[in-house]
A = this chain, B = another copy of it.
Amino acid sequence: MLAQAPIPDFTAVIPAGGIGSRLWPLSRSGTPKFLHDLTGSGQSLLRDTWDRIVPLVGPERMVVVTGRAHRAAVESQLPELLDPNILLESEPRDSTAAIGLAAAVLERREPGVIIGTFAADHVIRDVRGFRRAVEQAVAVARTGLIATVGITPSSPAIGFGYIRADGPLEIEGAPTAAKAVEFKEKPNLATARRYVEHGDYLWNAGMFVARASVLLEWIRRTEPALADGLAELAEAWDDPARRGPVVDRVWPRLKKIAIDYSVAEPAAAGGALAVVPGDFDWDDVGDFAAIARLHSGGRKRDLAILGESPTVLADASTGVVYSHTKRVISLIGVEDIVVVDTDDALLVTTTEHAQRVKSVVDALRVSGHGDVL
């Protein structure tokens, strides 16, 4: 098959910010989730993300928003990334600030541009299915709506949020796009089962495609002070002499709010959000259970062994081992185990309790062990 041409007038924005606390002690502030190889692909999730998206937009239209502390790591992972296209946050201010900054800067550089936001730390293997969905989403965005790609659930997952889709929108170039009418937080298992049986519920994968100007209008409508700050930042951004002082003054005062609350939910309520069903594999690799799941291909009897040249002797054991040390690791008769072995911290839990890792991180912080976070 021939490589396909990029989608015209379309820029990809990759927010690379989340630490991934549920993946401690692997992911931590200094080495967040997107810098790790969690799939065994031999490269980081960020690089996997680049490779998946760059054919859709071309390398000049790839933009990454990340923290100052991660600049060197990101540049080393993505040598093709243009210097003006790495947008540095002086501190994390949540996703409305990160995506809004990209939208505001890109709209100034190229009025009318359509942007798509794609997390740096999700896993998608079906690149063709992904592209088909994004092409539809861009077609939706050209009509002035905001599009999201919702994943057709393969199981009643309780770790994801859901989007309820309604009747088809009949947009040219987006035959399966539907109205997105409601967002649902992570459900319990009974509710998740109802969603999957119902058929109109899709996993919220946090992908949004829209004209930059449309996103900014919604931010202005719901968070006007934040929109003012973003406009001020964008106005100074491409002037090297002015950017620094404006960032230092404006950025730390931006409201921390997820784009789901500032844009997606209000837009859905206002009839301005469409959802394109994505019939491809997708995982946000939110915890170690997800890593075990990704590696076992759904089989229960596997042990995933990850890390740099791990030495693992396992007997009658299943789950996942991640080794960042040179130590010999021996597992005997432990099922669905999670072992994460790093120089200064060791985690032992089970896939069943993988979501509780975040509470350990909180406990370590308050008990004065912040040096291992």
Assembly CA distance A313 to B327 (angstroms)? 21
Residue from B311, B353, B367 within 8 A of A313 (CB atoms) = B367
Let me know if A372 is at the binding interface, CB within 8 A. yes
Residue from B348, B363, B367 within 8 A of A348 (CB atoms) = B348
Known: A341-B346, A348-B339, A356-B315. A364 touches B333 (CB 8 A): no
Q: Is the CB of A334 within 8 A of B348?
A: yes
Number of copies: 2
Let me know if A330 is at the binding interface, CB within 8 A. yes
Residue from B328, B333, B334, B337 within 8 A of A345 (CB atoms) = B328
Q: Is the CB of A344 within 8 A of B332?
A: no
Sampled A-B contacts (30; CB under 8 Å): A25-B328, A25-B330, A313-B360, A313-B363, A313-B369, A315-B359, A315-B363, A316-B353, A326-B344, A327-B342, A327-B346, A328-B344, A329-B345, A329-B348, A330-B347, A330-B348, A330-B349, A330-B364, A332-B347, A332-B350, A332-B357, A333-B350, A333-B352, A333-B356, A334-B348, A334-B349, A334-B350, A339-B346, A341-B346, A346-B346
> 8 Å CB contacts to B: which residues of A308-340?
311, 313, 315-316, 326-334, 337, 339
Note all chain B residues with C-beta closer than 8 A to A311. 369
Assembly CA distance A219 to B352 (angstroms)? 57
Let me know if A343 is at the binding interface, CB within 8 A. yes
Assembly CA distance A356 to B314 (angstroms)? 12
Q: Is the CB of A349 within 8 A of B331?
A: yes
3 smallest CB-CB distances across A and B, nearest first, come from A333-B353, A332-B349, A328-B345
Note all chain B residues with C-beta closer than 8 A to A356. 315, 332-333
Q: Is the CB of B346 within 8 A of A328?
A: yes
Q: Is the CB of A360 within 8 A of B329?
A: no
Q: Look across to chain B and name the residue whose beta carbon is closest to the beta carbon of A344.
A: B327
Q: How far is the CB of A158 from chain B (nearest CB, A)?
A: 17
Note all chain B residues with C-beta closer than 8 A to A315. 356, 359-360, 363
Note all chain B residues with C-beta closer than 8 A to A352. 333
Note all chain B residues with C-beta closer than 8 A to A326. 344
Q: How far is the CB of A322 from chain B (nearest CB, A)?
A: 12
Note all chain B residues with C-beta closer than 8 A to A344. 326-328
Assembly CA distance A337 to B315 (angstroms)? 15
Note all chain B residues with C-beta closer than 8 A to A334. 337, 348-350, 353
9 additional A-B pairs beyond A313-B369, A333-B350, beta carbons within 8 Å, are A25-B330, A311-B369, A315-B360, A327-B346, A328-B346, A328-B372, A330-B360, A334-B348, A341-B346
Note all chain B residues with C-beta closer than 8 A to A360. 313, 315, 330, 332
Q: Is the CB of A364 within 8 A of B331?
A: no
Note all chain B residues with C-beta closer than 8 A to A357. 332
Assembly CA distance A347 to B364 (angstroms)? 23
Q: Look across to chain B and name the residue whose beta carbon is closest to the beta carbon of A311.
A: B369
Known: A311-B369, A313-B360, A313-B364. A332 touches B346 (CB 8 A): no
Q: How far is the CB of A39 from chain B (nearest CB, A)?
A: 23
Assembly CA distance A334 to B328 (angstroms)? 21
Q: How far is the CB of A353 from chain B (nearest CB, A)?
A: 4
Q: How far is the CB of A92 from chain B (nearest CB, A)?
A: 24
Note all chain B residues with C-beta closer than 8 A to A333. 349-350, 352-353, 356
Assembly CA distance A25 to B329 (angstroms)? 10
Note all chain B residues with C-beta closer than 8 A to A347. 330, 332
